[in-house]
Amino acid sequence: MSTDISNLRKFVSPEIIFGAGARHTVANYVRTFGARKVLIVSDPGVMTAGWVDDVITSLEDQQIPYAVFTGVSPNPRCEEVMNGAQFYEQQGCDVIVGIGGGSPMDCAKGIGIVSAHGRHILEFEGVDTIDVAIPPLIFIPTTAGTSADVSQFAIISDQNEKVKFSIVSKAVVPDVSLIDPETTSTMDGFLSACTGIDALVHAIEAFVSTGAGPLTDMHALDAIRLINMNIVPLVEDPSDMHLREQIMLGSMKAGLAFSNAILGAVHAMSHSLGGFLDLPHGLCNAMLLEHVIDFNYSEATDRFKVVAQTMGIDTRGLTTSQIKQRLMQHVILLKADVGLTQKLAAQGVSLTDIPTLSSKAMQDPCIVTNPRKSNQRDVEAVYEEAL
């Protein structure tokens, strides 16, 4: 008797503690791993905001030794990962606490990988390349968008090749994620918009991904609903902690969805674009979103119809073409309402760059689960539309 396993889906997740003040519990979780010394990975901006001090206070209260590494750029670079791993070894650390946006958390994942294997981070590009257990990871996100704190992705920038590359493995799913909406209160409006739209793209791409299933759909749709309802009011009133909590919850759910369903062409193209020009990841996604929806729509009409309905669009009596146009227009207006109207050309992209960008996008793991199969010319056409 043969068994069809094509419909099987796995779901990985860290232990999650969600709510205001969650960051103050970090020492309790460090203790559960029997840490000798903790490496705190962050960046200068998060340090200035004071969130690292909260971690340090928690550790000092329980007399847990620590070292701090903040040599992380907005798009974490190979050399920063390698420097962090060397510092981790020199300091004799055995647990990693990452606090910040996606950059410090991805860098922390890279440090864990390198310290466990003793090899260069570039050797781990791709899917399931990690074969040695990495140190325990405890993450505290300070932005509501990247979801590195719940995902099995690490995104690192290779400045020599001018590209971002992906490491995809359940080994980099954090052991514990302390999701505290209070930490997002120091984000400015632009960062709130970029990270919020990033989370929205995570949710949409996860829902239409070829790897989607019941375990991811429920998180993706709730994330779309939460972000669609709350992102514009939050950008208008950044001090509203209830809105921040709703967006943080949406970001977490989007992360759980895409970590397991994977993503699509928006992210494949965004990783290529962000590596090429060192732009904010959420901005890259925003500039590409409606153009990829246009390209993909014919291959996932039923799913995109549900996305439209979840975003509050009344689809009754509309043709498939009309639903697509309403959804694209809704996305364009939502981006405009949070101040993200930028185009690729204004960011420095020219027609001559597109073949290189497209070639690199075609090598990104996210392209594999895009609902519409695409070749390099397809990707080039989408970039051209977004110029």
21-57 residue pLDDT tens: 999 999 999 999 999 999 999 999 999 999 999 999 9
Give tens-digit pLDDT for 359-377: 999 999 999 999 999 999 9
Q: Is 278 left (phi over 0), alpha (psi -120 to 50) or beta?
A: left
Q: Which residues contact 234 (CB under 8 A, 6 or more apart)?
A: 192, 196, 240, 243, 244, 246, 247
- Give all strands (DSSP E) within 169-222, no chain letters: 176-179
Region 289-306: mean pLDDT is: 98
Q: Beta partners for 23? A: none
Task: Using the predicted structure, report yes or no on whether residue 6 has a pLDDT greater than 80.
Answer: no
Region 117-141: mean pLDDT is: 96
Task: Using the predicted structure, report yes or no on whether residue 294 has a pLDDT greater than 80.
Answer: yes
Select from 84, 150, 158, 76 the least CA-distant residue to 114. 84
What is each CA distance from 371 to 59, 162, 292, 387, in whole angstroms? Answer: 46, 27, 10, 23
Task: Using the predicted structure, report yes or no on whether residue 2 has a pLDDT greater than 60.
Answer: no
When the pLDDT of each residue in the chain is averaged and rounded to a whole number, the result is 96
Place 3 in a pLDDT band, splitting at 50, 70 and 90. low
| Domains of the chain, residue spans | 15-184, 188-386
Region 100-110: mean pLDDT is: 97
Region 81-92: mean pLDDT is: 98
Say if domain 15-184 classifies as CATH 3.30.379.10. Answer: no
Burial 161-171 (b: 16+ CB within 10 A, else e): eebbbbbbbeb
pTM: 0.95
In angstroms, the CA 301 to CA 327 distance is 11
Q: Write out the two tokens for 269.
A: 């193209």
Q: Strand pairing of 95-100 and 38-41?
A: parallel
Whether the CB-CB separation of 128 and 168 falls below 8 Å is answered with yes
Say if domain 188-386 classifies as CATH 1.10.580.10. Answer: no
Place 5 in a pLDDT band, splitting at 50, 70 and 90. low
Question: Mind giving me the DSSP string for 348-368?
Answer: T--GGGHHHHHHHHTTSGGGG
Give tens-digit pLDDT for 217-257: 999 999 999 999 999 999 999 999 999 999 999 999 999 99
Give tens-digit pLDDT for 148-163: 999 999 999 999 988 8
Tokens 């999701």, located at residue: 179
Whether the CB-CB separation of 206 and 263 falls below 8 Å is answered with yes
Give tens-digit pLDDT for 315-367: 999 999 999 999 999 999 999 999 999 999 999 999 999 999 999 999 999 99
pLDDT of residue 162: 87
In angstroms, the CA 310 to CA 245 distance is 20
pLDDT of residue 4: 66
SS3 249: helix
